[in-house]
Structure 1
């Protein structure tokens, strides 16, 4: 096979893997939302991160690698931010559609990327993101009638995601698999008390535990594995552009599985935030390793 054709097939495999990763994440999150009636958002998050942690520990076996005190502290902060982000994001899903929650949460990593640059072009992407958020706020005659509390939780999740990126970079000197598995374990330590306090013994129902395992697989283990395939084959910029489509995919998953209808204004808002994310990725300077892009958008950690 000619080298060019081999590269094309390799790129196609990576694009398909990343698309499947986003689809699995969005479908898994849609399924997770269907469990809210039984164990609430808090209980669902507790099951999701616990099973994700168990899966990642089984895969990476973090005890095989040395761990310094400095790395351990960084991983604890990274994991705490991860747990808080998941909890806040799922709390937002109680009252606002999936696609909109993802779009609002995207403003967190977008702010980190823009603030680290401060170039003139970045003000264009800031304007796009602000326009998208403004269209979603329940203000004025063009109000989209979204729950303010749900929007607040999604914005807080965006802040958590930004902290997750910052702390993830601090933990970046540790082994990647070790940091991810121990970080997810710390996330479970943060989330489980909220889940138990809200759902009580219902959280340990065998049928619901099986559902929690499915959520952990579809929204963490499978997307993470597929993203790792894509990471090795796609340039950072292409990877980031494709991941920027996640809010739209989330909206489609919400429509298909949760019957969440969005208004034209809400679709425009999602489009504005996606435009800001793509624009920021395309105009980014430097040759930051693609692993940093994963840290910013990784499905195993973000939501």
Structure 2
């Protein structure tokens, strides 16, 4: 969780010279090169189902990465991460079997309402006029992709040994973002006094996100019950708010912090309640 949020925070300075889509494409491309070099995945002999799962994981990973980067460019990190976390929460609620689980959905909805209604109170990036509508839309789109990511990572991790499946999916993700990212990336690199510091920064950020955290998440899902994993990951909105405060100096208001707390509690409650 800290690797993910630090990767996002350190990506933000790259948005200005490279654009959000350019920085995201270069980050995924660098991650793909690193993972392909380390794993050298073998595709021969793989079933179509396994390859399709890895490809779909790459598509949703690209969507999640691109949409969340766009959201963080327009919203405070804690706010964007909390809305994005509605994806895993929706997965937990989907496995709920009792009507009482509606309480957790209502609590999460109340938390998001606090975040959106009270805008950027406390000095976030949105200013006093409230949250950016485009940023909110991108955060909700990232949430939808996050739900798919959770469901597919477990399948890909079981079908491929080591991190071969991750290498394939990140490569697909880089190819998916290429059409929207290659232009801004080349423009930013050509305008820079020296492109090498930018490329080194991209490579460093790519290790923080997605290489290290995605590898750790896939390893964790192989060794922990999905319910336990989901409870632990429920803390991610709070981690995002902390990293946003320390790294980007984004101070959230009381209402926003209460909203984040509601979503974290709802996620833990829904995950525990989904026990069979």
Q: TM-score, normalised by structure 1?
A: 0.78
Q: 1:249 aligns with which of 225, 234, 239?
A: 239
**Which secondary structure state, in structure 1, belongs to the residue aligned with residue 73 of structure 2?**
coil
Paired with 2:151 and 2:9, the residues of 1 have a C-alpha distance of 28
Question: Is the CA contact (8 Å cut-off) linking 1:129 and 1:276 kept in structure 2?
Answer: yes
Paired with 2:150 and 2:5, the residues of 1 have a C-alpha distance of 21
> Which segment drifts farther, 48-57 or 82-91?
48-57
What is residue 154 of structure 1 aligned with on the other side? 139
Structure 1 residue ranges without an equivalent (≥5): 1-21, 287-303
Paired with 1:214 and 1:99, the residues of 2 have a C-alpha distance of 23
Q: For the aligned residues, what is the CA RMSD?
A: 2.6
- 1:1-303 aligned within 5 A: 22-63=1-42, 66-138=45-117, 145-168=130-153, 171=156, 174-176=159-161, 177-203=163-189, 205-227=195-217, 236-286=226-276
CA deviations 1:56-110 (Å, max 9, x no partner) are: 2223221177312232223222211111111111111111011111110010121
Q: TM-score, normalised by structure 2?
A: 0.85
> Which segment drifts farther, 34-43 or 165-174?
165-174
Q: Compute the displacement of 1:173 (Å).
A: 5.4
Question: Is the CA contact (8 Å cut-off) linking 2:18 and 2:188 kept in structure 1?
Answer: yes
* Number of residue pairs matched by the alignment: 264
Paired with 2:215 and 2:174, the residues of 1 have a C-alpha distance of 20
Q: Compute the displacement of 1:54 (Å).
A: 1.9
Question: Is the CA contact (8 Å cut-off) linking 2:153 and 2:218 kept in structure 1?
Answer: no
Question: Is the CA contact (8 Å cut-off) linking 1:89 and 1:153 kept in structure 2?
Answer: yes
- Over 3 Å counting, the alpha-carbon distance change for 1:24 and 1:62 in structure 2 is same
